[in-house]
Amino acid sequence: MAQAPLLNVHHLQKKFGQFHALTDVDFKIYPGEVFGFIGPNGAGKSTTIRILLGLIRASGGQATLFGQDVWRDSVAIHRRIAYVPGDVTLWPNMSGGEIIDMFLRLNGDRHSDKTETLIKKFGLDPRKKARTYSKGNRQKVALIAAFSMDADFYIFDEPTSGLDPLNEQTFQAEVLALKARGKSVLLSSHILSEVEKMCDRIGIIREGRIVETGTLADMRHLTRTTVDVQTTAPVTDVAALAGVHGVTVETDHHVTFAVDADQLTAIMAFLTEKGLVALTTTPPTLEDLFMRYYQGADQAVDGK
């Protein structure tokens, strides 16, 4: 991409005592991009985000937002970002409406028509004291404030874990509206369908290290098609071919397996030679790919 990145994270590291929470976190986010940040519990997503927010200091590497250092220039950066965490804590004795307005004032913004529209869209009763709100309602308070801010960069760390499906839809629509206005978004989420629907590029983090970044199209190249085939000649030797994984032998003439996208043509030619009796292929989903990353290094995409 010719544009300069808005966020540039390079070889970021974080130690808590002797524990290396982040060993090598490396990614960029460009203007107008929605970037999905996914990975198992404890992988380092929130730690990375807390460094970007200037809440904790990195032990090594660099992170710049708008070309400014996230630690040294955090005050200037804060005026241009909006942040929503997954576990929103609010002042118990203030009403939701008062808290929204306070979040806005703290960011140099004010209550606008947009704020009113968002309160209606998310169906929040802003007159109730925060202590009476459910988890989802607390999240709505933070989301309404963030979406009514005129920020340049929006950071969401599992923002929808307490939202019902209707509010989840509202969240997705608002993120896409930000993107349409050229804003950039960092979205950490365990809801893979949400990531698949909204994100232009994705970074996968495991054990403090980014193991994959790319567009959804890039990721699809890494996916596998499931094949169930019956042939006239014995077909069990398909297991020896490159790109074939997880072969289940039903009979000598009937096997199921998964095949890497880039080997599909070669495998189909091989099967055709065997004389096809029946063939079912199931297209890959990104969810399958993500799950492999969640499951463990020994099942990672390259099979190593």
Ligand X SMILES: Nc1ncnc2c1ncn2[C@@H]1O[C@H](COP(=O)(O)OP(=O)(O)OP(=O)(O)O)[C@@H](O)[C@H]1O
What are 33's two structure tokens?
Answer: 């991009």
Q: With contacts defined by CB under 6 A, how many residues of the chain interact with ligand X?
A: 11
Measured from the CB atom, is 45 or 201 closer to ligand X?
45
Interface with ligand X, residue 43, by CB under 6 A:
yes
Q: Name which position in 4, 10, 42, 296 contacts ligand X (CB under 6 A).
A: 42
Task: Decide which of ligand X, Mg ion, none touches 68; Cβ closer than 5 to 8 Å per partner kind.
Answer: none
Q: With contacts defined by CB under 5 A, how many residues of the chain interact with Mg ion?
A: 2
Compute the least distance from the CB of residue 36 to ligand X, in Å.
13
Compute the least distance from the CB of residue 157 to Mg ion, in Å.
6
Per-residue contact track with Mg ion, 39 to 58, x per CB under 5 A? ------xx------------
- Scanning 45-53, 74-82, 88-96, 160-168 for contacts with ligand X by CB under 6 A, the matching segment is 45-53
Distances from the Cα of 177 to the Cα of 153, 183, 248, 252, angstroms: 13, 9, 46, 54
Compute the least distance from the CB of residue 202 to ligand X, in Å.
14
Interface with ligand X, residue 16, by CB under 6 A:
yes
Compute the least distance from the CB of residue 290 to Mg ion, in Å.
16
Compute the least distance from the CB of residue 294 to ligand X, in Å.
10
Measured from the CB atom, is 19 or 180 closer to ligand X?
19
Interface with ligand X, residue 44, by CB under 6 A:
yes
Residues engaged in binding Mg ion (CB under 5 A): 45-46
Q: Which residues bind ligand X (CB under 6 A)?
A: 16, 19, 21, 39, 41-47
